[in-house]
Amino acid sequence: MANSQAVFLEGSLFKHITIMSLTSSVGLMAVFLVDFVDMIFISMLGKEELAAAIGYAGAILFFTSSFGIGMAIAGGALVARALGAGDGVAARRRAGTTLLVGFLLGTTFATIVWLNLPALVTLLGASEATHDLAVGYLRIVIPSLPLLLVGMVGGAILRAHGDARRAMMATIIGGVVNAVLDPILIFGLDLELTGAAIASVVARVAIAAVALIPLYRHHGGLARPSLPDLRLDFAPIVALAAPAILTQLATPIGQAFVTRSMAEYGEEAVAGMAIIGRLTPVAFGVLFALSGAVGPIVGQNFGAGNEARVKRAYTNALLFTALVVLFVSAVLFGLRESIVNLFDATGEARGLIYLFCGPLALAFFFNGMLFVSNASLNNIGYPFTSTWVNWGRHTIGTILPVLVFSAWLGAEGVLIGQAAGGVVFGLLSFAIARRLMATARSAPAAEPFARQARIFALFHRHR
């Protein structure tokens, strides 16, 4: 079968990376921008505890969406590798089985989180009033996780086909739905935080629907999973999804520690951190999208056996990261006063926003380096390596510097410590990725992640 769908095997790698990242980021930023507008609306209500509740809820939602990101990485990598090897039948089969497995696992995961919400919010350090508001918000949003997962995996499969535009439209439409419903429900029906939660659920339904439709209309659809298909694909799905999910879960766990550390400095500091949490993905949405964009490019070329092109894709992605960080940092610095005034931030919140829009924005380059390295490692058969690097960054690389810098500089030290850990582990991820790329060789198409042989053997042994 011809590689007619493997569009990244030829042409300018920097152009592929730029187009994939920018189109993917438009969709991502549509969702992030709605979250940002949510925070503006909530701030307009003049209730500090509502803004703080969004901050605590955001840490939990980050945790749950990380599960979906991990499944999307698995689906995108498996489909891209099959397309790179010229096997369209395997690509459709893997797309179908990954969506089914992801939906079932996502439902189980969402149920566990939903049942333990009060304990999880307490663990983050929320006070009584804020605690109840955050739990109420999350009880509405968490059950929609399986739908969000379908949308995320569907989008990853579209990007594996090189169809970044249609993947982008799924999240844009979801963002538009959310943006339209937010003012109606929050202000028009006076539902406040509950209205924001309902709008998010409806938006997730829209994302799932719009992500699936193009797969049937333009890419041959999905193979209906059969029991033999599940037996064939379950091991490779888990072999990639398990470390990818573990990799993604490290980020919200590190963020939870940061949130708890910031809570020691009062709700004003937590509200400031929540504003930064909404501002970061809007400002750096291109880099959040980059990890999903570079994966299919690396995966297709690795599946085709072109290791030299894989290495060039990695270095081109880092160059793209540097250019984006320089541009965004300059914009944030110029707009810092306007951002502070937009949220009417004072005291600790004001100081934290000024810090983020200054030197800390430049340090985001090292986070981008980590994103690119993890995506590349996932697609050349080293998902567990990216798992350990990411966990190191969000445990040792977060806890120790946050403790040191916060003891020295207070609330601002929490953000400085978090950024310092990112610098160290970004450089470490670069060294590891370059070393493994120098020795990696493509695995046969029939066994797309041969280096995970022990996991394969474990699942086959229990059939």
To 10 degrees, what angle do helices 364-379 and 285-303 make? Answer: 30
Query: Structural domain boundaries of the chain?
Result: 13-458
Residue numbers of the chain with a pLDDT score lower than 70: 1-11, 23-40, 43-48, 51, 55, 85, 87, 126, 164, 219-221, 223, 248, 252, 267, 292, 303-305, 440-463
CA distance 120 to 125: 9
Q: How many CB atoms lie within 10 A of CB 459?
A: 15
**Nearest-angstrom CA–CA distance, 244 and 239:** 9
Q: Quick one: pLDDT at residue 454? A: 44
Q: What is the pLDDT of residues 29-57, one digit of tens each?
A: 665 666 666 666 776 666 667 767 776 77
pLDDT digits (tens, 9 = 90+) for 375-401: 888 777 777 787 888 888 888 888 898
The answer to whether 147 and 205 have CB atoms below 8 angstroms apart is yes
Looking at residue 93, what is its pLDDT?
82
Q: What secondary structure letter does DSSP report for 443? A: P
Neighbours of 438 (CB within 10 A): 9
* Residue pointed to by tokens 């439709």: 213
The pTM of the whole model exceeds 0.75 = no
What pLDDT is stored for residue 424 in this prediction? 92
Look at residue 6 in the predicted model and tell me its pLDDT.
58
pLDDT of residue 47: 66
Q: Provide the pLDDT for residue 450.
A: 46
Whole-angstrom Cα distance, residue 89 to residue 82?
8
Pick the closest to residue 221 from 53, 91, 37 (CA basis). Answer: 91
String of DSSP letters for 285-315:
HHHHHHHHHHHHHHHHHHHTT-HHHHHHHHH
pLDDT digits (tens, 9 = 90+) for 155-170: 878 877 777 677 777 7
d(CA 275, CA 69): 23
pLDDT at 265: 80
Neighbours of 46 (CB within 10 A): 9
- Alpha-carbon distance 321 to 14, whole Å? 11
**93 within 8 A of 75, measured Cβ to Cβ:** no
